Every structure is written in C-alpha cells, then in structure tokens.
Amino acid sequence: MIYPVILSGGSGSRLWPVSREQHPKQFLSLHRPGVSLLQETAQRLSNLEETGTPLIVCNEQHRFMVAEQMHQSGVSAQILLEPCARNTAPALALAALLAVQIDPDAELLSMPADHVIKDEQRFATAIKQGLGLAQQGKLVTFGITPSSAHTGYGYIKRGQADGEGFTVSTFVEKPDPEQARTYVENGNYLWNSGIFLFGANAYIDALRQYAPDILEACEHAFASRQQDLDFLRIKSEMFARCRSESIDYAVMEHTKEAVVVPMDPGWSDIGAWDALYDLTAEGEDGNAVHGDVITDNVRNSLIRSESRLVAAVGVDHLVIVETADAVLVADRNDVQATKHIVHRLKEEG
C-alpha cells in the first residue's frame, strides 16, 4: 500500500517577506484564497486509490500550525516532528523507518508541500504508472518536460523504456546554468519534480549503500522517538548529529535503481515570486495582483499587498510585496536572490 509522506520542513526564504521562519510558505495561501500549499497537497491525496494514513514530517516549531491546518481540511494525518532541519534525505529516512514498522512492504509517496498541480487526475494516473515499478524495488521519480534552463531543479536523462517509465541514465541535482542549457537543448532530459515513489525498504537499502552515516544517525534518532499527544517526536541530540543532505544528492545521483515516469499535470514548484507570477498573471497587462492594490500603466508585474494600500504607476516587470513590517521591490528576473536578503537579515540580527 502507498503511504504518502508530505515533507513540510523547508523555510521558503525566497518568498520573503510573506514567508517567514515561524510561518513558512507551505502554511500560506499564496494562489488559492483560504487554502495553504500544505492543505492543497494533503487534499490532493483524495484522488489517489488505496493510500494509507498520510505522514507529515515537519519541524517541531510548526506542529500546531500543521495540526490545525489538517483539522481544517478534514485530513487525518500522522505528524512526525524533527527537532531541527536536516534536509530531505534524513526526513525520508525517518518516514521509511516508521513505515516499515507498520507494513514491511510499504511504498512511500514523497511529496513536497510547496507544489501546485493543476490536473490532479493526470497526477493520479502517473502515480498509478509508477506503482508497479516501485513494487519491483525501483526508486521512481516523476519527470516534467523542462520549459527553461532553471538551475533550481534536478535534471534526469532518460534511458531505455522500462515498463511504464524509463531507466534514469543520469541524475544531476541543480546543475550550473551552462549545463542546464545543454540539458534543455538535448531534449532527453526532464526536470525532477521532487515527487518520489519507492518501497520504504528500497530507500533504506539505498541509504545503507550510498549514505550509511545518514541511515545510522536516523536509526539512532528514531529509536529515541516519543509519542507526545498527537505528535511523534524525535529527540534532538541524536538527530542533530546527522548530516544535512537532500535525497537528490544523497541517493538519487548515485542509485542504479532509479526510473522516471514522465508526467505533465501542470506542475509548478512555488519556489520564488516569479513562479507565483507565472501561475497567477492575467489580463492584457499581464499583472498578478493580490490584495489592496491600485495600478496605472503597470505591466508584467506581481504586486501583493498584505496590510496597506499599494499603488504602482508606470512600472514594468517588477515584483512588489508589501507586509506590515517589510516591503520587497525587485526586478522579476532577480527574485531568486531574495534569499540573500534573508541571510543578511539573519546575520545582522
């Protein structure tokens, strides 16, 4: 049976100033009023056949927000609390260790909490296609046809057809711009959607082979788990010693068992303000406007007001995001660098 795992421990710094450490992007309603990205992810599961209780892996600081949002959405989920962020390889290791206790043949469907998927039916079909491969011990990725040489994604070169998918001949996580351009021109590369399907035991085996230190640290940490009301808590000293690494670098770049199932469900990773612009821009002027905003002769811009009236005149290709205590003004091409501002603010205290 498929056990969905929603990874909800990221910080979302490129969506500052709306996304904050205490309230990162996955808990915000960014494109659908009243529905957060996490809630949208959890609701997506209702389109899948025969899934077990979903597991949400998140930072302990966010436990009440996760519980409250799941309650509001009517989704009953298990919530596993990390004492600190160690990226996705350890988060999934904890999920796998928990799943094999319930069902040694469990398949994990790992879903980031910050994706928008427009066509839920196509998504459900792709997962169905991947299931047979996962049951054969493969680590299944879902690949998206690239629309640009984006450097924030993993790139998968597809090989031979293998059942409902293709073997992965190369997996390169976050290539440099030059590499990314050659991959897109090549035509045989797909973006890694960041959604994975694999047997919990197959993932544990892959960690044992390619990142045994991560597996060992997580096994120790998992052994110290405690049920705390509705939460399963990992004790901090053990987990903090684990290396911080994503599944992409720790396992997917190395494994021989990877396969890719192409899918085209209108997928976006809401990584930065430009992605939200692409998703929500409309009309002749191509603006994406949210909240109390007034514009005159403004084009191709995202303007978002959270607390005050924002007026913009005669500007093009800008991102303007207003909150009660901070305002971001950026060229739409440069919004990835918003995270540098967040780092500087942290350093300067």
> Contacts for 99-103 with beta carbons within 8 Å, 24 or more apart?
99/3, 99/5, 99/55, 99/200, 100/200, 100/201, 100/204, 102/3, 102/52, 103/1, 103/3, 103/52
Q: Is 78 in the site for ligand GDD (CB under 6 A)?
A: no
Residues that bind Mg ion (CB under 5 A): 269
Residue 272's SS3 state is coil
- Among 43, 44, 160, 54, smallest CA distance to 99 is for 54
- Closer to ligand GDD by CB, 109 or 312: give it: 109
- Among 65, 54, 53, smallest CA distance to 26 is for 65
Stretch that binds ligand GDD, among 152-160, 209-217, 257-265, 312-320 (CB under 6 A): 152-160
- Among 50, 260, 6, 254, smallest CA distance to 134 is for 260
Residue 55's SS3 state is strand
Q: Is 192 in the site for ligand GDD (CB under 6 A)?
A: yes
- Closer to Mg ion by CB, 268 or 323: give it: 268
Stretch that binds ligand GDD, among 78-86, 98-106, 124-132, 258-266 (CB under 6 A): 78-86
Q: Which does 113 bind (CB under 5 to 8 A by kind): ligand GDD, Mg ion, none?
A: ligand GDD
Q: How far apart are CA 337 and CA 120, in angstroms?
A: 31
DSSP H helices, the chain, are 37-44, 63-73, 88-102, 120-135, 177-186, 200-210, 212-223, 236-240, 247, 273-280, 338-347
Q: Are 339 and 10 in contact (CB under 8 A)?
A: no
Q: Is 114 in the site for ligand GDD (CB under 6 A)?
A: yes
Q: Is 88 in the site for ligand GDD (CB under 6 A)?
A: yes
Comparing every residue's Cβ against ligand GDD, the nearest one is: 9
Q: How far apart are CA 211 and CA 40, in angstroms?
A: 32
Q: Is 58 in the site for ligand GDD (CB under 6 A)?
A: yes
Q: Is 305 in the site for ligand GDD (CB under 6 A)?
A: no
Q: Is 194 in the site for ligand GDD (CB under 6 A)?
A: yes
Q: How far apart are CA 145 and CA 192, in angstroms?
A: 9
Q: Which does 4 bind (CB under 5 to 8 A by kind): Mg ion, ligand GDD, none?
A: none
Shortest distance in whole angstroms from residue 18 CB to ligand GDD: 15
- Closer to ligand GDD by CB, 133 or 242: give it: 242
Shortest distance in whole angstroms from residue 85 CB to ligand GDD: 3
Q: Which of 19, 26, 39, 287 binds ligand GDD (CB under 6 A)?
A: 26
Q: Is 9 in the site for ligand GDD (CB under 6 A)?
A: yes
Interface positions with ligand GDD (CB under 6 A): 7-10, 26, 57-58, 82, 85-88, 91, 112-114, 152-154, 173, 191-194, 248, 269, 271
